[in-house]
A = this chain, B = another copy of it.
Amino acid sequence: MARKGFVHVGNKVSAIIHKTLISRMMKNTAVLLVSCPDQKGLVASIANFLLAHNANILHADQHQDAELNLFLMRVEWDLNGFSLPLEEFAAAFEPIASKHEMTWRLAESARKPRLAIFVSKFDHCLADLLYRYQSGELHCEIPIILSNHEDTRWLADTYRIPFQFIAVLKNAKEEAEKIQSTILHRERINFIVLARYMQVLSPEFIRQYENRIINIHHSFLPAFHGAKPYHRAFERGVKLIGATSHYVTETLDDGPIIEQDVSRISHRDSLEDLIHKGADLEKIVLSRAVKWHIDNRVLVYANKTVVFD
Contact = CB atoms under 8 A, between A and B. Distances in A.
A282 interface: no
A236 B257 contact: yes
Q: How large is the interface on A (under 10, 10 to 19, 20 to 34, 35 or more residues)?
A: 35 or more
A187 to B, nearest CB: 23
A96 interface: no
Contact of A3 (B5, B13, B242): B5
A240 B221 contact: no
Contacts of A6: 5
B309 A268 contact: yes
Nearest to A61: B61
Question: Quick one: which of A8, A58, A223, A261 has the most chain B CB within 10 A?
Answer: A223
29 contacts: A1-B4, A2-B4, A5-B7, A8-B153, A8-B154, A13-B154, A40-B55, A40-B56, A43-B43, A43-B47, A47-B47, A47-B48, A59-B64, A60-B60, A61-B62, A63-B268, A124-B131, A220-B242, A221-B238, A222-B236, A223-B223, A236-B257, A236-B303, A237-B257, A237-B302, A237-B303, A240-B261, A267-B307, A268-B309
